[in-house]
Structure 1
Amino acid sequence: MTDLASAFPTRPLKLRKTGIVPGIFSYLGGLMFLGIAGFIAVWQAPGIYNDIIISQNPVVVYDSTVEDGHCTTRRFVFTDCEAHVTYSVKGKTFERDIELMFVDFGTKDYEVEVVRSADKPQIVGLSLGLDMLWNRIIVGAAFVLGLGALGAALFFKGARADRVRAMARKALPLTPIPVNVVAISNVVGAKAVAYIIPRPGKKPGPNIASRIGRKQDLFWLNGDGQALAVLHAGSKHPILLDAELTRLDLTEEERRKIEAARDGVEPAAN
């Protein structure tokens, strides 16, 4: 890499293209996951909160009617139940729609009783909801936190992509570095390349993604799947270069000098 580094321009350079997908797509994905997390929270949290109150002082409501009660199990694991309950307390009639979600293996019928809070008769639930209360809390929290974390990660990814794309528009010092290409696949209108920064003796870092044209190739360094990338000063996100180096704002002389130096490149450590 020494010869190639010495052949690389020391002047600040702009990048004409980065191959990085704009952050807006990550933001939209993040909003989708956050929206699903919010939906699950709004859907399940009130029922869980009511059943926590009921569990503190439950009373079975024998004079009650359960309509449209059914449970659906998906993939033999996730079960959601619905029921419309009508009951009376001291001559006052109450009606409530009850929805539950929990994890239970296999499919089976559930026998349930209508239970209410002795202290707050307007709060009603099903005995199944109390039996599965901790199950529901854990499952609901896992969904909300997991989807929320995915949404936040996508927002972070989008912000990082936009930051790198913004830096590319500025003339900044660039450092050439070898990267290990781990996968190339065809996507709509382009090729998607996954690559990592080689770290000898250490666990490989996360895959970095870039897009190049269908008819373009990478600036390969050797026969071991290494290609050339450049790193902005102060950045940790290397930009993958194409075979013709058109992503860099180079003069023709600078381009020829880099291409000529490649013949003397020493394989970098994997």
Structure 2
Amino acid sequence: MTGTPETASSYRPDALRLPPRGHGWINTFWVLFGVVALGGILVAGAVYTAPAVISDWQVRAAARPAPEARVSEGKCSAKLVIHICDATLSLRTKAGTVTRRVNYVFSGLHAGDYRVGVMADPARPDLVTTDLGLDRLWNRTITLLVGMGAIAACIIGALLSLIRARRTA
């Protein structure tokens, strides 16, 4: 072997640098901004997506096709493997017309359009839904629980890191 062997005394590790004092409030601001943004997404999921999942679980066994119903303002969009579908459903009943907005969030690979049929439980026509929503009920439930759980974990982790950073300061 050629060359000189390194000894422990000639080895000098690089110095560790800490962020300069006084910039902690900027980090705190961004953490809190992220927490508020993620909290908004969590609330949106609870307000727009969860009620449709819960009501579909309530009518899944008794729902039947509703030929007198119609879908208006229906659209779906895909972000990678997450699909978001919004629709307004209208069902004429003896007591009047029931109108309901539904929001479906589910995962999977799909190319092309979705065809939907309106479904309703004759005993609970106010919970009108679609065959798309019922066919993907387990997928929607798991997607909602995993998504909301991940967002909640991010919020908790961010707040814990903020508390730990304040304790060491």
- TM-score normalized by the length of structure 1: 0.51
Which of the pair has the greater relative contact order for Cα pairs under 8 Å at 6+ separation? 1
* Structure-to-structure mapping, 1:210-221, within 5 angstroms: none
Runs (5+) with no aligned partner, structure 2: 1-19
Deviations 1:84-116 (A, max 9, x none): 221112252111112211112032222211111
Residue 131 (structure 1) aligns with: 135
Q: Aligned AA for 1:36?
A: I
For the residues of structure 1 that align with 2:130 and 2:123, how far apart are their CA atoms? 16
Q: Confirm whether residue 21 of structure 1 aligns to residue 24 of structure 2.
A: yes
Residue 156 (structure 1) aligns with: 160
- TM-score normalized by the length of structure 2: 0.79
Secondary structure class of the residue paired with 2:52:
helix
Contact 1:72 1:80 in 2 (8 A): yes
Q: Aligned AA for 1:88?
A: R
Of residues 81, 88, 97, the one that matches 1:84 is 88
Secondary structure class of the residue paired with 2:109:
coil
* Structure-to-structure mapping, 1:235-246, within 5 angstroms: none
Contact 1:68 1:84 in 2 (8 A): yes
Contact 1:30 1:153 in 2 (8 A): no
Count how many residue pairs are aligned between Structure 1 and Structure 2: 148
Bigger mean CA deviation after superposition, 131-140 or 17-26: 17-26
Higher helix share: 2
Deviations 1:186-227 (A, max 9, x none): xxxxxxxxxxxxxxxxxxxxxxxxxxxxxxxxxxxxxxxxxx
Once the two structures are aligned, what percentage of the paired residues are identical?
26
Q: Confirm whether residue 68 of structure 1 aligns to residue 73 of structure 2.
A: yes
Bigger radius of gyration: 1
Q: CA deviation at 1:21?
A: 2.9
Residue 115 (structure 1) aligns with: 119
Secondary structure class of the residue paired with 1:62:
coil
For the residues of structure 1 that align with 2:39 and 2:102, how far apart are their CA atoms? 24
Segments ≥4 residues shifted beyond 2 Å: 17-32
Secondary structure class of the residue paired with 1:123:
strand
Of residues 107, 110, 117, the one that matches 1:103 is 107
RMSD: 1.9
Runs (5+) with no aligned partner, structure 1: 1-16, 166-270
